[in-house]
Amino acid sequence: MAERRLLVLFGSQTGTAQDTAERVGREAKRRHLQCRVEALDSCDMANLIHEPLVVFVCATTGQGDPPDNMKMFWRFLFRKNLPAGSLCQLDYAVLGLGDSSYPKFNFVAKKLHKRLLQLGGNPLLPVALGDDQHDLGPDAVVDPWLVALWDKILALYPLPPGLEIISPDVRPPPKYTLRYLPEDSPHPDSDLLQPAAPQAPPGELHSFAAHVVSNQRVTAQSHFQDVRLIEFDIAGSGITFSAGDVVMIQPQNCPEDVQQFCQLLNLEPHRRFVLEPTEPGTSLPPLLPQPCTIQYLVTHYLDISCVPRRSFFELLAYFSTNELEREKLQEFSSAQGQEELYSYCNRPRRTTLEVMWDFPHSTCAIPADYLLNLIPRIRPRAFSIASSMLAYPERIQILVAVVRYKTRLSKPRCGLCSTWLASLNPEQGDVCVPLWVKKGGMKFPADPATPVIMIGPGTGVAPFRAAIQERVALGRRGNCLFFGCRYKSKDFYCQTEWEELVTKGFLTLFTAFSRDQEEKVYVQHRIRENGRLVWELLSCGNAHIYLAG
């Protein structure tokens, strides 16, 4: 009988596609299929020709781009020299996650499906196009598509004699066992220190701990929004970047939340543990040291401030000892309960920690082994670099708007990363932030004669500050900036810097302060007023236009 083996590969930017892929993996195991779930770029592409059955779950980001963890796969798959029938052994299905408010809706899934067909693959089903804009989210498409998928797969690979599909009432095993070390076991000195930086430039798996040099508020104290210009010291990191590049920052949970979480789950923060995979072949989470403390796990790894997904409620229901709580959790994880879950969780942006407060009987029964199944890891955040190495060597500056807003919940919602960054005060001692740099989507012209028109309202001006500093350092004039904010006196970022460059003839500046007069004025009004100049730069000067929000 054919080997009952399924490979689930995902390309995920924010974690939704990964969450869905893991759901497919759980459902496969209930049907007694051998199943591996991994990111597309972690998979050995050469082995794809030997895989009998693969489900691809992929998101589309930006303007129809593949997520970061499938970029290498994408380049490989579209190589011209791949033979037409190279995947003729492969049965496959593609599940796309996208947002129909973007013009290139689910572009990656559609293109992947088409390319696998070209290479001889055999599709089990039409490509599924999950849509964030649907009232019930992508699950409106995913749920029925998965039912059809399992029908197809079980027709090809029937259950072995004597086995039945494991009931959804049976709790799935954890991915890892969390084994506590004896309290008196020796502590190696380097317990939780970062490993010595390898020669390669810093990246997600080995970030650089950059000292915070300064953290300065650039909006008036009376202004509703707190915006910071933060400077990091990257001396000795090997990091290089140019205008338009992005710095990735790995944030952490605040001490109060960590303490509350540990209290709710009766965890001892100082306890040390090692993780052991429950299935052979499962790799350990690369960003967790071994051994590790509970404090480190909750502070640096578990995203307890994210809005929990449907899978969180599904798993939490298994631990619930309280009938009322269990019924509610099961409702939230059912297809019929998605509107109610949206109203309870997504609309008010309720965090995982707050949900745990609402389900105390279920929360205190969570076994530590399941923490990594239940709660996703904290994702790094991307910021446009707002400085040039030519102006500030061995430094990176960013412009951060601190995220804080009200929903119907009494406590204001706060952005995890921006709130943490704003709280760092280098004057009260040494503060470090784990970071690395990624190529950005903006490339500025190499020809010094090419003029540049930049439209950057609010913190959207950040990458243009880097570009202007870089171009000025190289003696390039032809810099035209349209900047907009609410009030000249309250949120005109980098005002003195721009005015100096205007005086020196390096910058043409147009400003729109929307609330400084009766009629609201925005950057588009200034562009229209200066239409002749803009057209002249485009038609005669071959200018490039850049827009950042």
pLDDT digits (tens, 9 = 90+) for 481-501: 999 999 999 999 999 999 999
Per the CB < 8 A criterion, the answer to whether 92 and 122 are in contact is: yes
The chain-wide mean pLDDT, for the chain, equals 94
Per-residue pLDDT, 47: 86
Mean pLDDT, rounded, for 326-347: 93
Per-residue pLDDT, 548: 95
Per-residue pLDDT, 192: 47
More confident residue, 468 or 196: 468
Q: Tell me the CA end-to-end span of the chain in Å, nearest whole number.
A: 57
Q: What is the DSSP string of 327-374?
A: HHHHHHHSSTTHHHHIIIIITTT--HHHHHHHSHHHHTT--GGGHHHH
- Residue where the block lists tokens 């100082």: 270
- Residue (of 129, 130, 152) closest to 139 by Cα position: 130
Per-residue pLDDT, 193: 45
pLDDT classification of 184: cutoffs 50, 70, 90: confident
Supply 78's token pair: 């579209």
Q: Is 256 helix (H, G, I), strand (E, B) or coil?
A: helix
Mean pLDDT, rounded, for 220-236: 97
pLDDT at 296 > cutoff 90: yes
Q: Mind listing the pLDDT tens digit for each residue in 232-264? A: 999 999 999 999 999 999 999 999 999 999 999
Q: How far is CA 84 from the centre of its chain?
A: 35
pLDDT classification of 199: cutoffs 50, 70, 90: low
Q: CATH 3.40.50.360 spans which residues of the chain?
A: 5-156
Question: How much is the pTM?
Answer: 0.91
Per-residue pLDDT, 196: 45
Residue type, 39: A
Q: Mind listing the pLDDT tens digit for each residue in 15-51? A: 999 999 999 999 999 999 999 999 999 888 888 888 9
Q: How far is CA 68 from the centre of its chain?
A: 10
Task: Please tell me the CATH code under which domain 452-547 is placed.
Answer: 3.40.50.80
Per the CB < 8 A criterion, the answer to whether 474 and 450 are in contact is: no
Per-residue pLDDT, 49: 86
Per-residue pLDDT, 190: 47
Residue type, 524: Q
Task: Please tell me the CATH code under which domain 255-374 is placed.
Answer: 1.20.990.10
- Residue where the block lists tokens 């929000």: 549
Per-residue pLDDT, 195: 44
Name 94's Cβ contacts closer than 8 Å, sequence gap at least 6.
Answer: 55, 56, 58, 109, 112, 113, 116, 123, 127, 128
CA atoms within 13 A on the CB side of 270: 5
pLDDT classification of 324: cutoffs 50, 70, 90: very high
More confident residue, 193 or 155: 155
Q: CATH 1.20.990.10 spans which residues of the chain?
A: 255-374
CATH of 208-251+380-438, one of 3.40.50.1100, 2.40.30.10, 1.10.8.350, 3.40.1010.10: 2.40.30.10
The yes/no answer on whether domain 5-156 falls in CATH 3.40.50.360 is: yes
Tell me what percent of the residues of the chain surpass a pLDDT of 90: 87
How are beta strands 272-277 and 176-180 bridged, if at all? antiparallel
Report the distance separating Cα 238 and Cα 230, nearest Å.
20
Mean pLDDT, rounded, for 73-85: 91
Tell me what percent of the residues of the chain surpass a pLDDT of 70: 97
Q: CATH 2.40.30.10 spans which residues of the chain?
A: 208-251+380-438
